[in-house]
Amino acid sequence: MGTPYFDYHALAPVIVLAAVALLALVVDFVWKDGGRRAVPQIAGIGMLLALIPVFTLAADGETRVMFGGAFVVDNYALAFAGFFLIVGYVAVLLSYDYIDEGDYYRGEYYVLLLTSVLGMVVLASARDLITIFVAIETVTLPTFVLAGWRKHDIRSNEAAIKYFIIGVLSSAVMLYGMSLIFGLSNSTLLSEIGSVAGGDNPALFAVAIFLTLAGFAFKVSAVPFHFWAPDTYQGAPLPVTAFLSVASKAAGFVAMLSVVALGFFASPNSWQPVIWVLAAASIVVGNLAALRQTDVVRMLAYSSVAQGGFILVPLAVSGDNDAARAGFQGVLVYILIYAAMNMGAFACVIANARRTRSTEIQSFSGLGRSNPAMAVVFTVFLFSLAGIPPFAGWFAKFVMFRAVLDAGTTAAVVLGVLAAVFSVVAFFYYGTVIRRMWFHAAVDLGDTGSPRVPGALVAAMAITTTVVVVIGVYPQLFAKIGDLAFRAT
């Protein structure tokens, strides 16, 4: 047993993030008053610093394998690592004023955020069940605490408790499935599970895959494992909700994608029906429930359940015929676009909640007159979520339907029709908010806050709007990333 092989260049994003998280912790407790200002800056700069090695590794283009194949840095891993870091940076921007003004612990917030993003970056490279499990727990554990951040608010406590109990339950189910897979394939490496999956497997293999995927389904709040999402999203502080509904959800999808694409793929009969049912149920239930909401955060929570269903569609059909590449690329591209538009929508909700101290949909009334710039930006995000060109959302839907058409089986077409019908339904609830903003007079909500939109929120909106508009007009950019990410496989 000698020194294990370490490629510090490949590990650089992870090392930078870990070091920055520790630095933020130390700065917070050593330099109490100054730390208040410094820690968010450190967190933001840290996310961007960790992006540098991601770019140099991408420019290098070499696939680096470490720890006996458990940690792989390839295009796929880099695409998601870069994505998570940028989402993390936007989350810091969203949090900046919200956390600064509330009566909360400021330093710890960013340390936990950095730790969660660290887990995501590791997850992108994880190619082994144990590594995936440890990474996904690193992602979720800090978010349990973040969800309960407003500890004097009973809603926030409820959010954290619900999220914690469901999170632990889902981890247990997932581990049970993983232990069965290990028992059947005698390995935790996805590549070796993949070679076993192609053979003649006992029926227990399907059970193991079912349980593992059910565990991930909790994380991505796919129906019927979505009950925690609306309550948690509503109770948690708004920037945390944005982070949960985008980054932590995307982490669940990345884990699912890795496990299916690299592990179970050769045995489509075992995993396809599970994902098909999850996708169909999420699309139907998510969209129908979103129609009835009067609170914009709950509406976005159900909308994110529905969008999660759309993300699962390309994965559900990827086992048919030659749809694998189109399917996996569809998932990746949809996640990237969904992140930009949902983060942006939450930036607008946070700005509006500062103005009106409310998250009711009716609090958006008259926004078109009082703050037309923000109303335009929010309209762009809602149009994009509804999938209307020329905003990025249409391309996400396009790659989804392309995967369905590539598959071409009856099951795939049925799912495609469901997705198409409920995309139309989705426009109703997004449209309600848009109508409120432009065609209704302002409602007097009594206690109102400051109408000024702080700089950090403006920056977050600028980044996300740019992505949504640029990708809407020039989608080849994300298509290229999707193409590169799956070149090797």
Partner 1 sequence: MTEFYRSYLAVAVLILAAIGMVGFMLGLGRLIRPVRAQEQKYIPYEAGSDPTGTFGQSNVRYYVFALLFVIFDVEAVFIFPWAVNLESLGWFGLVEMTIFVVVLTLGLVYAWRKGVLRWA
**Which residues make up the interface to partner 1 (CB under 8 A)?**
1-3, 22, 25-26, 29, 201, 203-207, 210, 269-270, 273
Q: Which is nearer to partner 1, 21 or 375 (CB)?
A: 21
Question: Least Å distance between CB 198 and partner 1?
Answer: 13
Q: Are 319 and 268 in contact (CB under 8 A)?
A: yes
**Number of C-beta neighbours around residue 110 at 10 A:** 29
Q: How many CB atoms lie within 10 A of CB 369?
A: 13
Question: From the CB of 269, what's the least distance to partner 1, in Å?
Answer: 4
In the complex with partner 1, which residue's Cβ is closer, 26 or 376?
26
The string over 14-46, giving b where at least 16 C-beta atoms fall within 10 Å of a residue's C-beta and e elsewhere, is: bebbbebbebbbebbeeeeeebeebbbebbbeb
User: In angstroms, what is the minimal distance from the CB of 204 to partner 1?
Assistant: 6
What CA–CA distance (Å, rounded) separates 384 from 392?
6
Q: How far is the CB of 195 from partner 1 (least distance, A)?
A: 18
CB of 387 to partner 1, least distance (A): 32
Q: Helix count (H) and strand count (E) of the chain? A: 20, 2
Q: Residue 342 Cβ, how far from partner 1 at the closest point, in Å?
A: 32
- Decide: helix, strand or coil at residue 126: strand
Q: Minimum Å distance from CB 292 to partner 1? A: 30
Residue 198: is it exposed, middle or buried by C-beta count within 10 angstroms (0-12/13-18/19+)?
exposed
Cα separation, 316 vs 264, in Å, equals: 13
As a whole number of angstroms, the distance between CA 209 and CA 223 comes to 17
Taking the complex as a whole, the smallest distance from the CB of residue 218 to partner 1 amounts, in Å, to 16
* Residue of 124, 142, 171 whose CA lies nearest to 244: 142
Helix axis angle, 324-356 to 372-386, nearest 10°: 150
Beta bridge partners of 360: 295
Query: Cα separations (Å) of 336 from 80, 82, 159, 380, 393?
Result: 9, 11, 26, 17, 10
Alpha-carbon span 84 to 132, nearest angstrom = 16
CB atoms within 10 A of CB 63: 13
Shortest Å, Cβ 258 to partner 1: 22
Measured over the CA atoms of residue 411, residue 415, residue 418 and residue 420, the dihedral's sign is negative
- Beta carbon of residue 326, minimum distance to partner 1 (angstroms, whole number): 22
Helix axes 249-258, 296-317, angle to 10 degrees: 10
Rounded to a whole number of angstroms, the minimum distance from the CB of residue 42 to partner 1 is 15
- For partner 1, the closer of residues 210 and 438 by Cβ is 210
d(CA 301, CA 162): 15
Helix residue ranges, H only, 267-409: 268-291, 296-317, 324-356, 367-370, 372-386, 393-407
Taking alpha carbons only, the member of 306, 457, 272, 278 closest to residue 396 is 306
